[in-house]
Structure formats: structure tokens, C-alpha cells
Structure 1
Amino acid sequence: MTNDTLTVPAEKKPRYPKSVPYIIGNEAAERFSFYGMRSILVTFLVAQFYNPTGDKALTTVAEAHANESTHFFVTLAYTLPFVGGLVADWFTGKYKLILYISMVYCFGHLCLALFDSNINGFIAGLVLVAIGAGGIKSCVSANVGDQFDATNQDLLSKVYGWFYFSINAGSMFSTMLIPWVYKYYGAQWAFGIPGILMGLATLIFFLGRKKYVRVPPKGVNRNNFVFISFYALTHMSQKKAGQSLLDVAKGEYDPEKVEGVKAVYRVMAVFFFALAFWAVWDQCLSEWVLQAAKMNLSVNLGFTKFDVIAGQVNTVNTIFLLIFIPIFNYGIYPFFDKIGLKTTPLRRLGVGLILTALSFVIIAMIQANIDHGGSPSIWWQILAYAVLSAAEVLVSITGLQYAYTHSPASMKSTMSGIWFLVVALGNLITAAVNNNIKNHGYFEAHLAGANYYWFFVGFIAVFIVLFMFIAPRLKEHNYIDDAENENKVVSETEKL
């Protein structure tokens, strides 16, 4: 008698998609190119175009002009992800959009390097870079998720970890290197090297073309945020008593999608307060850089002493973020939750706004010292960066988390695009203030020197006061909790 043995095949170990190295390499090189260019942009604009003779009488207007140009550039770069995402989903797919817009991106960098003495050519280059960076922004991270299926989903979080590590690595190294290149080798090399890295990013992405999972475009989806909102606004007369404005669209569009759009508007009420943060955050890559150039840039660490370049100081923001994220997630949040002060998303946002205002109080005091002929140590600005970085953890990361948990699955991509639009609108506000100063408007006389930063302290303070009154009244709907509760009900039913 023989015994037949049933052999159970061993479960295959999940494998990383072969496309992952190309995506991560592409992202590191692209972020190097973007932040490398930005690290010197505002100082270059002042020195080359707006005040080449260094005339002190022109300093305020020239710096305002450079700040305006920089913030308009960021506004365009963060407006386009919403458009790029729609184009990729409806018409081209992510692969084609990323590849073709990356070529535009490269040409923009080429213009920056070639037209370093031609303002019109240089501005054209900035527009092309903004189109490139903004056009692909909403597609690149989504393209990472497309590479995974049910067999390797467990590896997705690890790959996103490496993906975001590549972002920080690319930006940190470029912020250290490019200001040094600009100082010692000039603008053409300083803008040319980021262009070379963007060319490398495009090449890396192209080399992986046969290994990508490509999700085809699905055509125009009429049940989207824009169409439903437009229909509701143009049919307001059909609104019945007891209905919300968006309910009038339920006869023409999928009712479930209409409810999803309602959720988007609820989240946008929270995003309104994040607007104050984004109106000032990007100043650390423009206004703060110009301020740093007027400070004592000597750094004494005890065992060594060296001088930094104004454009390099922003590197500490990345360092502080890498330190603060685990401290907040594994230390501060659990501590306050344990003692009964639950760190809800809205509370985190409120504290983040307070810290943002505090960082600008420090910057305003530094500027007051400079205005009176002082040369304060760069360590004071590093302190301001530490406070602003803590605020970034509380506002930016919390905002993205809130958008994800408080919007239905069908609207999560839309919420990401709207988050980028909030960044754009914040920069547009700051650009408008600097435009007024540049054109000798009301703000030129009233926001000179430290008053400029005190203005933004007051600006944030208004949002903080509004937040204190409105936040307790905001209606919240956590879709993740709903899904977990549904799963729990199903589980309990199965037990019965």
C-alpha cells in the first residue's frame, strides 16, 4: 500500500516591479533639477536683471520684483497638476504625458541656461519649467501605484518610502550644490546642471518604457468635480426647499458622485485655512534667501567653522523634516493622545498655523536688526526654519491626510489636485503683494523692511482667529472610519 502525498505549492514571495528603479531614479533627478534651479532663482533675478548695479535705492523694488516673479512661477507650477491629471486620465495616459511634458521641461531648463542675460528668454524658460514641473506632478506619484497589483501590494508602502526619500535626497543635494556652482562658476553652469539632470531624468524614464504598467486613458468622465459644480451653479433656479445647491445636479449626474463633490467642498473649507500657510511657506525659498544674504553666514559648530551661501540655508528645512516627522508621529501625537488631548487633524492644523506665525515673528525680528545696521547670525534664521518645518509637519502632512480620509475613493485624486491649487493660490497672494511694492503702490511705503514680515504675521493671525471660531462648526465625514465600521459589521454578521 502506498501513501500519496499532497504537495502544496509554496506561496510566491512578492517581488518589486521591474519599473521601480526607473521611477525612483527619474524622481530624484527631476527634483534635483527643480529645487536646484529654485535655490538661486530669486538672488539671480535681482543680481542679473532687476538691480545689476547693486544700487541700494533700488533694493526694495528689485527684491519685490524678484519675489513676484518667483511666486508667479510657483503659482503656475502648482496650478497645472490639476490640469495634467485630467489630461492624463482622459486623453493620454500617464506615461505619454510624463514623457512629452518632460521634454518641454528640458527645453525650459535649456532656455534658463542660454538666456541668462536676456530677460524675455529667461522668463520664457521659467514658464516652460513651470509647465513641465506642474504638468507631470500629479501623474508621477500615481504612476508608482499603477505598477502594483494584488500579488505585491504589501511592498507599495516601502516603495513610496523610497520614492519620497528620492525627492528629499534630490532636493537636499541640489540646494547644497547649485548655490556653490552659481557663486564660483556663474549662472550658465548653475542653471545648466539642473537642465542636465532633467535630461537625465527624462532618459531614465524613457529607458524603463518596456517595463511600466500603463493604465490607458478612460476618456472624459462627465461625473467629475468640475462638470457637476458647473451644472449646479448654472441651474440654481431648480433648487428646492431643503436641498443643498449641489442636489440639483442629481437628476443629471450620478447621485453618488454628487455626494462625493459635497465631500470635496467640506474638505475645501479646511483647505481655506491652509491657504495662510502656503501664502508664506514658499517665502523661505525667496524672501528668506534674500534676507540670509544680509546676515552673518559664518557657522561655528565648535569643532569646525565655515561659511554657507544664502541659497544653501534652505537645506536645513529638509533635515528638520526628516527629524520631526518621526518625532511627531511616534512621540508628540501619542503623548498628547495619552493624556487626553487628542491630536485631531483640525487641532494639528490650528497649532501649525500658530507655529507658522511664530516663525515669521523670528524673521521679522531678524529683519528689524538688519534694518538698524546689524548683521545677525544665520543661526537665528535656522531657528525660524526649525519652527516653520514643525509647522509644515502639522499643516502640510495633516492636510494631505485629512483630504484622503475625508473624501470618497472617487474624489481622492480630485482632492490632491485641489490641494496643489491651494498652494498656487497662496503664492498668488504673495506675488500680488510684491507686485504692489514693485509698482510703487500702497505697500511700498508701508511694508518696508521688517514691516513686510509683520504684515504676514498679521495675515496669519487673522486666519488663526477665524479658525478658532469656524473649526468647531465644521462638519466632518471620515470615509476611512466608515469603511472600517462597515467591515466590522460584515465581520460580526459572518460570526453570527
Structure 2
Amino acid sequence: MDGAMFGGYGAAKADEAGMKHHEMMPPRVSGLHHEDRRPTQEISRADEGPIKSEKVPVPDVQEKLALESEEDGLDYNVTDEDRATLRRVAAPMPWTAFLIGICELAERFSYYGTTQVFQNMIQNPLPAGSTTGRTFHPDDVAGVYGKGQQAATGITTFNTFWVYVNPLIGGYIADTYLGRFNTICLGVGIAIVGHILFIISAVPSVIKDLNGAFACFIIGVIINGVGTGFFKSTVSVLIAEQIKAKRQYIQVTKKGERVIVDPTATAARLYDFFYLLINIGALGGQIAMPFAEKYVGYWLAYTIPTIVFLICVPVLYFARNKYVKNPPAGSVLSNALKLLGLAMKGRYSLNPIAMVHNMRAPDFWENVKPSKLGAMKPNWMTFDDQWVEEVRRGFKACYVFLLFPFYWLVYNQISGNLVSQGGTMKLGGVPNEIPQNLDPLGILILVPFFEFVVYPGFRRMGINFTALKKIFCGFIVASMSMVWAAVLQHYIYTTSPCGTNASSDTGCQSPISVWVQVGPYVLIGLSELFASVISLEYAYTKAPKNMRSLVMGVGLFTNAIGSAIQQAFLPLATNPLLVWMYTTFACISFAAGILFGFLYRGIDKEEDYLNNLASADYHSKRSSQHEEWDMHNADHASNDEKPN
């Protein structure tokens, strides 16, 4: 349990902790009692019939940190002088985080391995004499439905949109009802059904009826998207929750050096590791499945990812009692929105500039803290001042995600238009999806290089390469990838025998090698290291503890918005307009990066403060039930320890 909890059983724990704290402190006057002059706050419980409130002492931040230090056995008393002089290090990763990472690797292998072959399957018709979608000539391209590039790009874009809409729903369910572990298990079960439908749609006897096979495929896309969305919103939170310490603390190394174990550095290293596993899985799936579709057929390209995905089931089941699991907290989103609405009273304006100015006022959140409202606070306010600070931090994270759709607009080209571009080039027996693997391969090389060489070098030089600076770089590098793609598309048009009608048809392919696509794929991979990885870290470290899945879902939802924006550009996804399409995406990403740097240039100043807030006290009926469950288990544990 993080922090002291107040009200009911929590009040008793707070009193007990307070007694321990005072026993550790020397009395001001020996033999005399002194009055507790700490500020008081009414704490009430929601959903428990008539509201009953009592005034209890509200510990300040230092007292909370002292109590938590005693509970965790860690020294959270980090001063500004310590932050300025001591080296910052990451905490070690527990073995349960590695297990969750294996699940993510298997899921990403199945997801990328499956979606890798969507574009060709939808765009191109069955090769002559084929009943599985396989090819018989090295330069032919696999396919089944023959619906063209626009339709294929539209469906793959919808798939991305759908996969990244569902994390909002999955995050809400995880935080409010099921908890993160149970939501992951639910997502795995749903996704398995979707994978089975993909296999059925690719069986040769089903492909004979193209309309029926296509309908089965689309149903699989919808069901798999729900399962993937539920999984995505929770797995990246659950893996980070395996780390014990959530704030900076002092540690003495074996060499006697005092260092700060920094949660930001820990989260950065954890998510670098997490992203490394993502790309190992993606690389495996994206290399194997194009060869399976090209030389065997789509049924094999869907069966292998399904088998790998099933690894998640035993990994989750056999370690189910070892994972750190935070229980769901009830109607947290409702209270967060009510808090925002209360803060907005008297600050609404039809002028958007004035509205933003009002919301950024120094007292915007200060005026709705329970200690500030006193007896005027509403009955639903069953939390303390620190939770208001956590909500403020969570909304800041969502504010930072505002421009991310324009980054994902560029990123999503690697699974659609760039694959189609590769099909118009000289393949030499290589499936046109294979160069896409330069993206995860580049990441596998760049992650350890940046983690162990670049970032430590910056720290030694005193350069604070913050999360927001990395995201800015991500936008700019992404725009460079589209510049490369636009120039390459221009040369494809000028060298193809069919000119601006270049296509994957025999006789219309450009003599330029498909491996020239190394530029856009590697640059997008580098941009992911700056933008995508940091978005996961930022969502986790800035969200309230009981809203992490939901805030992660908001971050992932920006990918869905990017896909929706891409749908508006579908008219450009055809000859002879492809040069203009890539040029437009390059300009959008560059402009978004410049705007990002301008809008968020001041948020870095609060980074240490936001990352080191003391734990909040949040009460609900659901949390009360969990406290009673904990007491029940504690009683049984204490009885088991007694001698017979």
C-alpha cells in the first residue's frame, strides 16, 4: 500500500504509522504532551450509503515520504543539493518484468507477422495457378483479393485505427473493473479468436469463394483489433509496475558512492528494454511471414504467428501469483473529469487562446484541492491534495500527446504505402515486405547504442536530454524519412518503363533495387527511439497510479487519430500523386515538430517535481473492499506464523 490511507481501516493504519513516527522523533519537552497542529482534512468514502466524514491530520509531503521510507526500507529524502551533485542510476529489473516482456515479444511477433502480409493480400490478385496466394516467379508479388493499392491502404489504415482505439476501452476496463493482469488475459483470449479467423480465411478451400474469404478476414481484423487494444493498453503499464520504487531515493553502491536511484532513468531503461523486445518480435514475424506468403501461402503466414502468440498463455498462467498487481480503483475517470469540471468553473471562454490561458493559470488546480475547499468540498471528493497533483500531472501528459497523431501519420507508412512502393522496384526474389525489417533491425542496433553510449555521454557532458527534447527530435527525423521516400518515388517514376504508372506488374517495375528503401525505414526506426519509446515512458511516469492504463490508452489512441488523418489523404495514395503524398507528410511532421518544441519548451522545468510526488490517498468502495481483503489475508498470515 503506497502512502498512509485515511478513513475506516485506513485511519487506523495512519494512526499506527503516526505513533511509530513520533516514537522515532525526540519529544520537544520531556514528559509533556504537545498538541498536533497539523492541518486537518475531512476524508469521506464514496458509495457507502450516507456520507460520514471525520477530521484527521493531513501529513505534509515530508511526513509522507518519511512514512513511505519506513515502509519500503528506502531513503526517499533526496534534497535539491543531492539532485545537483549525485549521479543518477536506474533500479534493477525484477524477473517478473522479463516474463511480461516475453509476452510482449510473442504478441508483437504475431501482430506484425500477421499485419505484414495484409497489404499484398488485399492489393494483389491471386497469381496465375495459385490457390494459396503464393507466387511461382521470383519477381511476382503474392496476393489474393486484387482490390488495388487504395483499398489495401484503406483497410490497413483502418486496422491501425481500430487497434489503437481499443486501448481507451481496455484502459478504462483495467483501471475501473478488472485490473491490468485480468484485462491482459481477456485481450489474449479475444485476439486468439481473431488469429483463428485469419487462418480460416486463408485456407485454399475457403479462398475459392473470394467474397466469403474476404468477409472472414474482415471479421478477424475487427476481433483481433479488440484483443490487441486491450493487451496494448495494459501490458506496458504492468511491466513498469513490477519496479518497487516510484520516486527518487538515495543508495550507496558497493564502492561507497552515494547515488540517486531515479524512477525516470529506471522507466527509460525499462521501456528501452521493452521496446527492444517489441522489435525482436516484430523482426522475427516480419522476416518469416513474407517468405511464408510468397513461397507457401497465406495459411502458413497466419498459422505461425498464432502458434507463437499462444506462448502468452502459459507465461501468464504459471507466474500469475508472482506479478505485482494493483487492484482496480473504481470510478477514477469520473472523479478526474469532475475535478477538471470543478477547476474550469468561471474559466470558460469562447476565445480558445483565453481558454488555454485560463487553464494554465498557477491556481487552476490549487483551488480545487480538498484542503483548500474545506467544508465546501463535494461528497465525491474522496481523495487528498496529492491525488489532485497526480491528476494535474496526468492531464499534462495528455496535453503533450496532442501533436502525436502527426507523428503516427508518418510512422504508419511503413506498413502500407512504403510496402507498395517496394513492389514497384527490382526485387530479385526478395518479398517486397522484407525491407520493412530494416526498421526493427535498426532499432535493435540503436537502442543499446543510445542506452550505453549516447545518453551516458550526454549526462557526462552535463546535457539534460529530456523526454520532450527526444520527442522533438523524433518528429524531425520522421520528416526526413518522408523526404527520402519522396525523392525515391520521383526516381521510380523517371526510371520505370511505365513512367508515372509504375506498378508491381511485370514490365512496369523500376530497375532501382528495393534495398534503396533503407533510408525511410531506418530513419523511422530512429524516430521511434526518440518519440514512440518516450511516449510510453511519459504516459507511465506522469499518470496517476490508478489511471495509468487509461492514460496509456490515450497515448496509444493518438495513433488511431493519425490513421484517421491518413484516411483523408487516401486520394493521394495512387499514381501519379505519390511524390506529393510523401512530400506532404514530410512537411506535416516537420511543422508538428517545430510546434511541439515551441508549445512544450517550459514543461521540462517541472520534470523532477512531477516525477517525485508523494503517493496519493484515494478512497472508493472498491478500494475499501481491497483493504478489507488485505486485512483478512494479514490475519491469516499472522495466525499461520503462531506456534501450535
Q: Deviations over 1:46-68 (max 9, x none)?
A: 1259xx9x9xxxx9982122112
Report whether the alignment pairs 1:261 with 2:363.
no
State the distance in 1 between where 2:426 and 2:230 align: 39
State the distance in 1 between where 2:550 and 2:303 align: 35
Counterpart of 2:606?
478
Report whether the alignment pairs 1:109 with 2:189.
no
Call closer, same or farther: CA 1:163–1:384 in 2, change over 3 Å.
closer
State the distance in 2 between where 1:140 and 1:183 align: 33
State the distance in 2 between where 1:404 and 1:210 align: 23
Counterpart of 1:397?
533
| Residues 123-272 of structure 1: pairs in structure 2 closer than 5 A | 123-145=218-240, 164-209=275-320, 212=323, 214-221=325-332, 224-229=335-340, 244=359, 251-252=377-378, 253=381, 254=383, 256-272=386-402
State the distance in 2 between where 1:335 and 1:25 align: 30
1:416 alignment partner, one of 552, 555, 570 = 552
Q: CA deviation at 1:139?
A: 2.1
Q: CA deviation at 1:108?
A: 0.6
State the distance in 1 between where 2:474 and 2:466 align: 12
Counterpart of 2:410?
280
Asked if 2 retains the 8 angstrom alpha-carbon contact of 1:406 and 1:479, the reply is no
State the distance in 1 between where 2:457 and 2:419 align: 36
Whose helix fraction is larger, Structure 1's or Structure 2's?
1
Q: How many residues align?
A: 452
Report whether the alignment pairs 1:433 with 2:575.
no
Counterpart of 1:388?
524
State the distance in 2 between where 1:243 and 1:454 align: 37
Counterpart of 1:120?
215
Call closer, same or farther: CA 1:191–1:180 in 2, change over 3 Å.
same
State the distance in 2 between where 1:39 and 1:196 align: 17
Asked if 2 retains the 8 angstrom alpha-carbon contact of 1:260 and 1:410, the reply is no
Amino acid at match of 1:480: D
Q: CA deviation at 1:353?
A: 1.9
Asked if 1 retains the 8 angstrom alpha-carbon contact of 2:175 and 2:546, the reply is no
Call closer, same or farther: CA 1:114–1:322 in 2, change over 3 Å.
same
Which of structures 1 and 2 has the bigger CA Rg? 2
Deviates more, 1:137-146 or 1:401-410: 401-410
1:317 alignment partner, one of 407, 418, 439 = 439
Q: CA deviation at 1:69?
A: 1.2
Q: Deviations over 1:230-275 (max 9, x none)?
A: 6667986799x99649658664445544443333343334323333
2:423 alignment partner, one of 289, 293, 316 = 293
Call closer, same or farther: CA 1:220–1:48 in 2, change over 3 Å.
farther
Output the aligned Cα RMSD.
Answer: 4.2
1:62 alignment partner, one of 130, 133, 148 = 148
Amino acid at match of 1:31: R
Q: CA deviation at 1:107?
A: 0.8
Q: CA deviation at 1:464?
A: 3.6
Call closer, same or farther: CA 1:445–1:377 in 2, change over 3 Å.
closer
Call closer, same or farther: CA 1:446–1:224 in 2, change over 3 Å.
farther
Report whether the alignment pairs 1:45 with 2:175.
no
1:32 alignment partner, one of 106, 109, 128 = 109
State the distance in 1 between where 2:284 and 2:306 align: 15
SS at match of 1:115: helix
Asked if 2 retains the 8 angstrom alpha-carbon contact of 1:37 and 1:191, the reply is yes
State the distance in 2 between where 1:159 and 1:352 align: 19
Call closer, same or farther: CA 1:48–1:91 in 2, change over 3 Å.
farther
Report whether the alignment pairs 1:85 with 2:171.
yes
1:449 alignment partner, one of 578, 590, 594 = 578
Q: Deviations over 1:42-101 (max 9, x none)?
A: 11111259xx9x9xxxx9982122112112211221222232122123212233322233
Asked if 2 retains the 8 angstrom alpha-carbon contact of 1:407 and 1:478, the reply is no
Q: CA deviation at 1:181?
A: 0.5
Deviates more, 1:81-90 or 1:201-210: 201-210
Q: Deviations over 1:351-372 (max 9, x none)?
A: 3222211111111111112222
Unaligned runs of 5+ in 2: 1-91, 127-132, 134-139, 203-209, 250-260, 370-376, 497-509, 615-644
Call closer, same or farther: CA 1:206–1:470 in 2, change over 3 Å.
closer
State the distance in 2 between where 1:329 and 1:148 align: 19
Q: Deviations over 1:137-177 (max 9, x none)?
A: 12223333555668xx99x9898776554433222111111
2:588 alignment partner, one of 436, 439, 459 = 459
State the distance in 1 between where 2:151 and 2:605 align: 43
Amino acid at match of 2:198: L
State the distance in 1 between where 2:328 and 2:312 align: 24
Normalising by structure 1, we get a TM-score of 0.77
Asked if 2 retains the 8 angstrom alpha-carbon contact of 1:22 and 1:207, the reply is no
Q: CA deviation at 1:225?
A: 3.9
Asked if 2 retains the 8 angstrom alpha-carbon contact of 1:257 and 1:410, the reply is no
Report whether the alignment pairs 1:360 with 2:437.
no
Amino acid at match of 1:119: F
Percent identity at matched positions?
25
Asked if 2 retains the 8 angstrom alpha-carbon contact of 1:364 and 1:454, the reply is yes
SS at match of 1:478: helix
Asked if 2 retains the 8 angstrom alpha-carbon contact of 1:447 and 1:455, the reply is no
Q: Deviations over 1:372-414 (max 9, x none)?
A: 2133223321122222222222222334444455566566554
Asked if 2 retains the 8 angstrom alpha-carbon contact of 1:406 and 1:476, the reply is no
State the distance in 2 between where 1:90 and 1:448 align: 47
Counterpart of 1:492?
none
Unaligned runs of 5+ in 1: 1-13, 299-306, 438-442, 487-496
Q: CA deviation at 1:323?
A: 1.8
